[in-house]
């Protein structure tokens, strides 16, 4: 079974779209896929219950309403000399539209499933590059961090210029991921930040400077196992995301509830405008406490221990 990782952005989302670094951690959840012989290329995705054929112009075929997915599948198939006569059965194990890199995980799993069936050998960098073609269909102007993390896994610094640079953790990170239940559109929030940057470059570049300093310090704290520092950096990063109008009342309430339940820090993760937040706990027992507090507000909060 082929696999692509979901991810959380620990620090630096949005700045990364504009050339700044971000720190991200891959999740053990994401997407899995398997390819089977067929008479034409097909993609089935669970739990969405969709089965689609590729379409470069995004025409909806009969019985489907998935123009974006059809174009994204066509973008992935553009990496093959001929359309593979394969049916790919894929399953997402993170919620879509939640800032957890579900679409990138799906694309990476699909590419790896096709490659495995066709006997194509492709390294992580090339898998991420191909997945990025589909990411552009889904998200407009993505930085590439999701596709890179989906392919590489682990914990890493990412920037557009330098790609993935793995970070060595001194200790495990007991993270809790909470889903606000509000569908966030990364395409929309990325476009909103781009508009703010155009209108007031001085202000927004200063916010990006702050995020970059948080990323630098976050890397040092990860390498030193300084969980309290990481928690404080998360709180600071969240303030900067609020300044870019990327948070919601619901996300703020969830971050507050996590901290009240003992989390060292909490912030939204990914595109924002809804989607998910993450909280850092001192240890797994404390993480269970935070998870319980979040579950009382929104179901499906889960513990994601990121290990060295
Ligand atoms: C990625 O998960 C979140 C954003 O930084 C968009 C991107 O990097 O493409 C908001």
Per-residue pLDDT of the chain (308 residues; tens, 9 = 90+): 999 999 999 999 999 999 999 999 999 999 999 999 999 999 999 999 999 999 987 655 544 468 899 999 999 999 999 999 999 999 999 987 788 999 999 999 999 999 999 999 999 999 999 999 999 998 888 999 999 999 999 999 999 999 999 999 999 999 999 999 998 889 999 999 999 999 999 999 999 999 999 999 999 999 999 999 999 999 999 999 999 999 999 999 999 999 999 999 999 999 999 999 999 999 999 999 999 999 999 888 999 999 88
Residue with tokens 């998870």: 291
Residues 130 and 25 in one domain: yes
Question: Judging by DSSP bridges, how do beta strands 155-159 and 163-166 pair with one another?
Answer: antiparallel
pTM of the model: 0.94
Q: How far apart are CA 139 and CA 67, in angstroms?
A: 14
Which amino acid residue places its CA nearest to atom 3 of ligand 1? 270
177 three-state secondary structure:
strand
Q: Are 43 and 94 in contact (CB under 8 A)?
A: no
Residues 263 and 132 in one domain: no
Q: Hey, which residues does 181 pair with through a beta bridge?
A: none
Q: Are 153 and 223 in contact (CB under 8 A)?
A: no
Domain containing residue 173:
167-306
Q: In degrees rounded to 5, what are phi and psi of residue 278?
A: -125, 150
Q: What is the secondary structure of 112-158 as a DSSP string?
A: HHHHHHHT----HHHHHHHHHHHHHHHHSS--SHHHHHHHH-SEEEE
Q: What tokens does 146 get?
A: 């999701």
Domain boundary among 165, 187, 213: 165
Which residues line ligand 1 at a C-beta cut-off of 6 Å?
9, 13-14, 16-17, 101, 142-143, 145-146, 186, 190, 270-271
Domain boundary among 165, 199, 231: 165
Give the number of domains in the chain. Answer: 2
Residues 151 and 191 in one domain: no
Mutate to test the pocket of ligand 1, among 10, 12, 14, 108 (most ligand atoms within 8 A of CB): 14
Residues 153 and 8 in one domain: yes
């Amino acid at each position: 079974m082929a696999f692509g990782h979901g991810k959380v952005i620990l620090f630096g989302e949005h700045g990364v779209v504009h050339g700044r670094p971000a720190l991200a951690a891959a999740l053990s959840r994401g997407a899995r896929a398997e390819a089977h012989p067929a008479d034409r290329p097909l993609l089935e995705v669970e739990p969405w219950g969709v089965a689609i054929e590729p379409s470069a112009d995004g025409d909806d075929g009969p019985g489907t309403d998935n123009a974006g997915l059809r174009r994204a599948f066509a973008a992935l198939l553009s990496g093959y000399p001929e359309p593979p006569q394969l049916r790919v059965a894929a399953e997402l194990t993170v919620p879509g539209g939640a800032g957890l890199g579900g679409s990138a995980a799906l694309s990476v799993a699909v590419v790896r499933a096709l490659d495995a069936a066709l006997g194509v050998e492709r390294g992580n960098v090339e898998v991420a590059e191909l997945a990025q073609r589909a990411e552009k269909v889904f998200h407009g102007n993505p930085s590439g961090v999701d596709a890179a993390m989906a392919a590489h896994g682990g914990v890493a610094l990412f920037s557009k210029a330098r790609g993935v640079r793995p970070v060595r953790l001194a200790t495990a990170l007991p993270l809790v991921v909470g889903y606000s239940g509000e569908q966030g559109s990364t395409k929309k929030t990325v476009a909103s930040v781009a508009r703010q940057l155009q209108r007031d470059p001085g202000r927004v570049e200063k916010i990006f400077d702050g995020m970059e300093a948080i990323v630098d310090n976050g890397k040092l704290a990860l390498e030193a196992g300084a969980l309290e520092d990481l928690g404080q950096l998360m709180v600071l990063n969240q303030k900067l995301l609020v300044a870019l109008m990327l948070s919601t009342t619901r996300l703020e309430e969830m971050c507050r509830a996590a901290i009240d339940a003992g989390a060292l820090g909490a912030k939204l993760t990914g595109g924002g405008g809804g989607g998910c937040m993450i909280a850092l706990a001192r240890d797994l027992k404390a993480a269970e406490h935070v998870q319980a507090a979040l579950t009382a507000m929104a179901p499906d909060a889960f513990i994601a221990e990121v290990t060295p």
